[in-house]
Amino acid sequence: MPAPLSIIIPALNAAEDLPLCLASLMPGLSADLVREVILVDGNSSDATRVIAEDAGARIISTDRRERAHQLRLGGEAARGAWLLFLHADTALSRDWAERVHAHIDQRADKAASFTLAFRSDHPMARRVAARANWRARRLGLPYGDQGLLISRQLYDAIGGYHDTPFMEDVEIVRALGRARLAHLSAQARTSAVKYEAEGWRRRSWRNAWLIARVLLGADPAKLVRRRP
């Protein structure tokens, strides 16, 4: 019987973070949990493809750079009974395979996200992550940085990722609903580069404002055109 999990990683010029992301998947490979790793590359100009190929990943190329489109392509191509969508700048904690295996065995009717952490020593890193984890647990609205584990059956039932230009993570968890979304204790440790460049408070409030606009019915296509 083949391993159950297909891991889909959308990428664009991700050579700096991708090695750590791929290395973090080793516990799942060792546990015979991972069937395949699929990297969907948006025509990167750096070593992203070479790094992924050297690691044994299956490469899908596209000229489109929208993350939602890349996620959708990866989901369509995946052969596993379970899918794990993971950003290229995110590395999972060593206990992730154990937590995923337990979820597959015990809560097959639910999707799941990981506990967010930032790879940063900034005092705001833990505070922002704590707010995101509270939102994921209480409101069923995890960030895409927290990954999404979902069975093929449930993914197909909700129509998968749509070709939206923005906020694809919000759209898909809204389609799932809070009752069909669990929160795993294993960590998704993501890059803090954008927060540190833009400012922790400024980016946090901007993200919150954009999510609120989407939840109130704003068109993501219009929001993405207005983003700074």
Position 221 scores a pLDDT of 62
| Mean pLDDT, the chain, integer | 92
What value, to the nearest 5°, has the Cα angle with vertex 77 and ends 74 and 79? 115
- CATH of residue 21's domain is 3.90.550.10
For residue 204, count CB atoms less than 10 angstroms from its CB and return exposed for 0-12, middle for 13-18, buried for 19 or more. Answer: middle
Position 228 scores a pLDDT of 45
**CA dihedral sign of residues 94, 126, 178, 91:** negative
pLDDT band at 201 (very low <50, low <70, confident <90, very high): confident
Position 144 scores a pLDDT of 94
Q: What is the mean pLDDT of residues 180-202?
A: 94
How many whole angstroms separate alpha carbon 20 and alpha carbon 113? Answer: 19
How many whole angstroms separate alpha carbon 97 and alpha carbon 75? Answer: 20
Report the candidate in 30, 48, 47 with the shortest Cα–Cα distance to residue 39. Answer: 48
**192 has a pLDDT exceeding 70:** yes
Answer whether 162's CB lies under 8 Å from 71's CB: no
Domains identified in the chain, total number? 1
Top mean pLDDT of 81-85, 194-198, 212-216 is at: 81-85
In this predicted model, what pLDDT tens digit does every residue of 24-40 receive, in sequence order?
999 999 999 999 999 99
Position 95 scores a pLDDT of 98
Domain extent for 71:
5-226
**107 has a pLDDT exceeding 70:** yes
Is the model more confident about 201 or about 52?
Answer: 52
pLDDT band at 203 (very low <50, low <70, confident <90, very high): confident
